[in-house]
């Protein structure tokens, strides 16, 4: 915008220069006391008088000669002289343009900092508030788990108590999702066994989904990345595969060519390209942030994630673990 304004102003300066030279030509046509212009006498040839002509040869204007109708006076300003005048204008414009551009740039930075500083503080306060809330969740959740365990010990196995424990586990899982979302895990790496990690997760999920058949085909593959973040990724995908599966369905997990594949026989996804959007969901259950967190964590860990799905036939997630695979 500044460049456009200066360009318009430069064109106005050229127009002013032309008008100034034309005015000097008119004065010169009366007193002939001028050294900047070349004076000549030409046949009239129907030349339009008192008009400024501008071409590659410079500026030219024609004026009448008293008591002569055959000849006219020609005043011209050469292209070399005109180019020098334009160079003066250009230098003047540039000397004004760059300081103005620098001043506007600095003012823009200051204004951006001034405008965004309260927003940054608000985001930091919100993040700290969420962390405090997550920490405060621990006390009531621990109390719920403890009392549920004591109640089960008194009355034995009970379906209602099992549902309470499952609900507490879901809240804890959501808490871990949010904590993982707030933390940066890319620099915290360790070596761990992928098969052991997934076996632990499947063992826990089988308690809540006894009708789902889980199969695991991994041969003690080692990974070198952040274990907690990677665990958040896999537990979210596998639990979704079980949660939205069909009756007596299956969840197959295998590792081939540095790719971890998680396939289910569930409901499928209508819009696979949108599932990583925040708050997007196709089912009534959930709040739509689980897979968004999965994508964020995959980006942090350098893992490429692909999704293939068909409605009412199932979904396949593929995690490319080439960058995090540990070789022995």
CATH of the domain at 199: 3.30.565.10
Helix (H) or strand (E) holding 125: helix 79-155
Whole-angstrom distance, CA of residue 14 vs CA of residue 4 = 15
Residue 285 lies in a domain: yes
pLDDT of residue 136: 66
Query: In terms of Cα–Cα distance, which of 277, 280, 201, 278 is closest to 241?
Result: 201
- Check whether residue 302 and residue 192 sit in a common domain: yes
Residue 140 lies in a domain: no
Q: Which of 79, 95, 111 is the C-terminal boundary of a domain?
A: 95
Q: Which of 95, 115, 142 is the C-terminal boundary of a domain?
A: 95
- Check whether residue 209 and residue 313 sit in a common domain: yes
Q: Which of 95, 123, 146 is the C-terminal boundary of a domain?
A: 95
Residue 192 lies in a domain: yes
- Check whether residue 207 and residue 307 sit in a common domain: yes
Contact (Cβ atoms closer than 8 angstroms) between residue 97 and residue 6: yes
Contact (Cβ atoms closer than 8 angstroms) between residue 255 and residue 289: no
pTM over 0.85: no
Whole-angstrom distance, CA of residue 12 vs CA of residue 10 = 5
Whole-angstrom distance, CA of residue 148 vs CA of residue 169 = 12
- Check whether residue 210 and residue 316 sit in a common domain: yes
Q: Coil, strand or helix: which one is 179? A: helix
pLDDT of residue 195: 93
Residue 74 lies in a domain: yes
Query: In terms of Cα–Cα distance, which of 309, 304, 306, 307 is closest to 321?
Result: 304
Tell me the residue range of the domain where 66 lies.
Answer: 2-95
- Check whether residue 199 and residue 308 sit in a common domain: yes
Residue 120 lies in a domain: no
Per-residue pLDDT of the chain in tens (328 residues, 90 and over written 9): 777 877 888 888 888 888 888 888 888 888 887 888 888 888 877 778 888 888 888 888 888 888 777 888 888 888 888 888 888 888 888 888 788 878 888 888 888 888 777 877 777 777 676 666 666 666 777 777 788 788 888 888 777 877 787 777 777 776 766 666 666 555 578 899 999 999 999 998 888 888 999 999 988 889 999 888 899 899 999 999 998 898 889 999 999 989 999 999 988 888 888 888 887 877 766 667 788 888 988 998 899 999 999 988 899 999 999 988 876 4
pLDDT of residue 319: 95
Residue 143 lies in a domain: no
Contact (Cβ atoms closer than 8 angstroms) between residue 218 and residue 325: no
- Check whether residue 91 and residue 197 sit in a common domain: no
Residue 141 lies in a domain: no
Residue 177 lies in a domain: no
pLDDT of residue 261: 96
pLDDT of residue 131: 67
pLDDT of residue 224: 92
Whole-angstrom distance, CA of residue 172 vs CA of residue 141 = 8
Number of domains in the chain: 2
DSSP 304: E
């Amino acid at each position: 915008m500044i460049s456009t304004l200066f360009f318009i102003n430069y064109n106005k300066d050229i127009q002013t220069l032309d008008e100034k030279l034309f005015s000097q030509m008119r004065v010169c046509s009366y007193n002939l006391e001028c050294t900047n212009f070349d004076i000549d006498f030409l046949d009239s040839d129907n030349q339009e008088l008192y008009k400024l002509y501008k071409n590659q040869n410079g500026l030219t204007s024609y004026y009448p000669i008293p008591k002569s109708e055959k000849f006219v006076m020609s005043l011209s300003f050469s292209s070399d002289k005109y180019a020098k005048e334009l160079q003066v204008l250009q230098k003047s414009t540039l000397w004004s343009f760059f300081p103005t551009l620098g001043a506007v740039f600095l003012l823009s930075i200051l204004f951006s900092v001034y405008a965004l500083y309260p927003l940054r503080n608000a985001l930091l306060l919100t993040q700290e508030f969420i962390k405090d809330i997550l920490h405060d969740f621990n006390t009531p959740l621990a109390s719920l788990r403890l009392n549920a365990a004591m109640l089960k010990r008194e009355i034995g196995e009970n379906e209602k108590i099992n549902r309470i424990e499952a609900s507490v586990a879901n809240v804890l899982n959501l808490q871990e999702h949010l904590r993982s979302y707030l933390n940066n895990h890319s620099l915290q790496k360790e070596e761990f066994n992928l098969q052991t990690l997934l076996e632990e997760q499947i063992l826990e999920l089988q308690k809540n989904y006894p009708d789902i058949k889980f199969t695991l085909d991994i041969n003690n593959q080692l990974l070198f990345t952040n274990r907690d973040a990677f665990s958040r990724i896999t537990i979210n995908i596998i639990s979704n595969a079980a949660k939205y599966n069909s009756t007596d369905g299956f969840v197959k997990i295998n590792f081939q060519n540095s790719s971890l594949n998680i396939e289910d026989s569930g409901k499928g996804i209508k819009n696979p390209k949108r599932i990583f959007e925040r708050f997007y969901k196709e089912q009534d259950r959930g709040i739509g942030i689980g897979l968004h967190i999965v994508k964020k964590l995959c980006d942090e860990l350098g893992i490429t994630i692909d999704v293939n799905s068909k409605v009412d036939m199932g979904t396949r997630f593929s995690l490319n673990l080439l960058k995090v695979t540990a070789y022995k």
